[in-house]
Structure 1
Amino acid sequence: HVCPADLSDPAAPDALVAAAESAAGPIDILVNNAGLTRDGLALRMKDEDWARVLEVDLAAPFRLSRSVLKGMLRRRSGRIVSIASVVGVTGNAGQANYSAAKAGLIGMSKSLGQEVGSRGITVNVVAPGFITTAMTDVLPDAQKEALTKSIPLGRIGAPEDVAAAVVYLASDEAAWVTGVTLHVNGGMAMI
């Protein structure tokens, strides 16, 4: 089932969760994976670019999590996995808004994990490094080559690398793992 939503609309998460549950039943696993960038040096960053990134990359995952938690708490079971970024831990020049949003996502997930853990719900984060996606495809080849050289495992990550981490954190095997950030970055940042 596909339930489209504009996550920059504060009302969208509740409507999306209601539509998804109507179409497919109770939500047992939420993967917060919406994200965008509006890069620019802090001194030149427009307030709109700051706000837009925090709205989609941090506020929307919070609202989605809050929406699904209502049912998860009743069922005393659930998994929330949010996709952050290595940049949420290391920072990156020209990405103050994105770095702040992804760092906030990590902190929010730890707080939620403490709030709902006693009810059988785990809340974790996957923090990818440099992954082949539409967001990174636009980078110049020279920049991609330089980044690849900084990765000890010697390659750019694939979406499947991130998916495997998400599958683990959403699985029964990770039932005793909460509040954790799993870094999937090929050793790019050994945190």
Structure 2
Amino acid sequence: MKKYALITGASGGIGSETAHTMAKEGWNLYLHYNHNKEAMERLLAELSIYNLELIPIQADLSTDSGIDKLLNNIFHIDAICYVSGISHYGLFVDTDDQIIEKMWKIHVHAPMVIIKKLLPKLMKNEQSYVVLVSSIWGQTGASCEVIYSTAKGAQISFVKALSKEVAQSGVRINAVAPGAVNTQMMGIFSEDEKIALEEEIPMGRLANPCEIAETIQFLLSEKASYITGQVLAVNGGWYT
């Protein structure tokens, strides 16, 4: 039987690697993106070798209309991988209210609404899966990334609470908390800052996006059949 998964933020570094990893495992994919149409077209071309159903959906998840647009294009669904995210670096006291609102909508409001609306579809299956990509900063917090840390921490609390509520319905809900990952989100830092960051990490390097994608795939597999409500830290020993 065909299995379908939604990947939000599929045009980004972690999202696209997750799409590749899941396609190799035979998943038909709803591939969400917002601005990066060129990256999505490239991803669709790369995934075409798998002969699967690939359904691109453009939507701005910081708006209610964008969330509705996404939901209106989802039919059968077995898994949700919420990878969408934006970052903001700066002092909390200097942050515009609009940034706070957008960060909260994309990281907290959107996944809660999307998962709430799709839960009835997920519960029709014998087994379904939800994975949210949170962050190391949702676990421990970061100066100058207060809003991001708060939103990612809220994701973790959401996972822990909802997983208990739906466990007997056959829906497993978990989170992945990456540390520093070598994606475009790291573009705000200089090379010297990245080197200094690597020196803080016990394993001495940034994560590759594929390492996060493989962790997501593990949580979607039968190898994780008794895991729900958990946060898997993938951070090279940076925070334990």
TM-score normalised by length of structure 2:
0.75
Paired AA for residue 179 in structure 1: G
Q: Does 1:181 align with 2:231?
A: yes
Match of 1:19 among 67, 73, 83: 73
Give matches, 1:111-190, under 5 Å.
111-190=161-240
Unaligned runs of 5+ in 2: 1-54
CA offsets 1:130-166 (integer angstroms, 9 cap, x no match): 0011110331011100110111111110000100100
**1:57 maps to which of 107, 123, 129:** 107
1: CA distance between counterparts of 2:92 and 2:171? Answer: 37
User: Contact 1:13–1:67 (CA<8 Å) still a contact in 2?
Assistant: no
Structure 1 pair 34/100, CA: closer, same or farther in 2 (3 Å)? same
Matched, 1:8 2:58: no
Indicate how the Cα distance of structure 1 residues 34 and 179 shifts in structure 2: closer, same or farther if over 3 A, else same.
same
**Number of paired residues?**
186
Equivalent-residue separation in structure 2 for 1:14 and 1:159 (angstroms): 29
Letter of the 1:144 counterpart: K
Specify the SS of the correspondent of 1:75. coil
Alignment of 1:49-128 (within 5 A): 49-128=99-178
Counterpart amino acid of 2:150?
A
Percent identical residues? 30
Report deviation, 1:16: 1.2
Given candidates 29, 32, 35, the residue that maps to 2:82 is 32
Task: Using structure 1 for the length normalisation, give the TM-score.
Answer: 0.93
- CA shift for structure 1 position 76: 4.3
Letter in 1 for 2:107: D
Checking the alignment, whether the CA contact within 8 Å between 1:38 and 1:50 is kept in structure 2 is no
* Superposition deviation, residue 38 in structure 1: 2.4
Question: Are the counterparts in 1 of residues 79 and 122 from structure 2 also a CA contact under 8 Å?
Answer: no
For 2:88 and 2:188, how far apart are their aligned partners in 1? 13
What value does the CA root-mean-square deviation take over the aligned residues?
1.2
Offset from partner CA, 1:50-80 (integer Å, 9 cap, x none):
1111111111111121122120123342100
The answer on whether the counterparts of 1:14 and 1:63 sit within 8 Å (CA) in structure 2 is no
CA distance in structure 1 between the aligned counterparts of 2:141 and 2:156, rounded to whole angstroms? 13
Q: Which runs of 5+ in 1 are unaligned?
A: none
3-state SS, counterpart of residue 57 of structure 2: coil
**Aligned letter for 1:50?**
I
| Distance of 1:14 and 1:113 partners within structure 2 | 24
Distance 1:43 1:36 in 2: 19
**What amino acid is aligned across from residue 102 of structure 1 in structure 2?**
K
